[in-house]
Structure 1
Amino acid sequence: MIKLLVIGNLGKDAILNNVNGKNVINFTVAHTEKYKDAQGVQKDRTVWVDCSYWTDRTGVVPYLKKGTQVYVEGNPDVRTYTTQDGRNGASLTLRVLSIQLIGTKGGEGASGNPASGNSGYTPQTPAYGGQPVVSSPNELTEPMDDLPF
């Protein structure tokens, strides 16, 4: 099995479709990586990943808005095609197994105002002012500062 992990921003709002009686959430994630070329010039390289999330958990759709930063993991597939002008092309697709909302691009819309592009999602910060607490059952639930090592 090959697993792909992607952290990036949604390129547009997610779309909920129903295919043969099953729900699928389609969205595109862009991951931009900064690098320096041979001359030392700072450049950006963006990889777009087309995602399909086959699930009955459709409550996440209102939060999957353009610019929202997400963490997705799943099984990748590269599809090749020929363009109308005869050139070869390829696209990276991902059959999503899990998704986590991280925030909005550049911290925009942190007010929780739906008109700000955040749709009411704000990353939780603990009241004690320390590191965020991980809420997964198999992960740490203590602040990072209180670790014994």
Structure 2
Amino acid sequence: MLKMQIIGNLGKDCVVNNVNGKSVINFTVAHTEKFRDSQGNSQERTTWVDCAWWTDRTAISQYLTKGKQVYAEGQPEVRSFTRNDGTAGASLTLRVREVQLLGGREGGAPVSSGGYSTSSGTAGTPMSNEGPADDLPF
């Protein structure tokens, strides 16, 4: 089994679809890596991952909005295709098993996501049962 984990920001609001009576939440995660090239210049490379999460727990979709930072884990799939100009292309897709909201942007400033974790049917479940995130000692 292959397993992939990604932490990144959502490129746009998620979309909830119904396929053959089952719900799927589709979203795209961007991970940007900063590095120095052989001449010592700072460079950035962004990898986009299309995510599909088959779940009945679609209540979390209201929180999967553009700019939010998420952790997603699941099985990777590479899809090959032919572009309109005849050249070959490929895309990276993640069949999601777990999603965790980490934070994001609201009005341009980073914010906490409220500590929601979703894993195999526990959408919107707080990560801690000890009260609101404001009460955490860190």
**Residues paired across the two proteins, number:** 120
**What's the TM-score once normalised by structure 2's chain length?**
0.81
2:73 matched residue in structure 1: 73
1:29 matched residue in structure 2: 29
Larger Rg: 1
| Structure 2 stretches lacking a partner, 5+ long | 116-132
Which has a greater percent of strand? 2
Whole-Å separation in 2 of the counterparts to 1:86 and 1:46: 25
1:40 matched residue in structure 2: 40
Residues 97-108 of structure 1 correspond to what in structure 2 (within 5 A)? Answer: 97-105=97-105, 108=109
Task: Give the drift of 1:2.
Answer: 0.2
What are the superposed Cα offsets for residues 13-33 of structure 1, whole Å, 9 maximum, x if unpaired? 000000000000000000000
Whole-Å separation in 2 of the counterparts to 1:53 and 1:103: 19
Whole-Å separation in 2 of the counterparts to 1:104 and 1:19: 29
**What's the TM-score once normalised by structure 1's chain length?**
0.75
Indicate the RMSD between aligned Cα atoms, in angstroms: 1.9
| Structure 1 stretches lacking a partner, 5+ long | 113-120, 131-149
Residues 50-61 of structure 1 correspond to what in structure 2 (within 5 A)? Answer: 50-61=50-61
Letter in 2 for 1:16: V
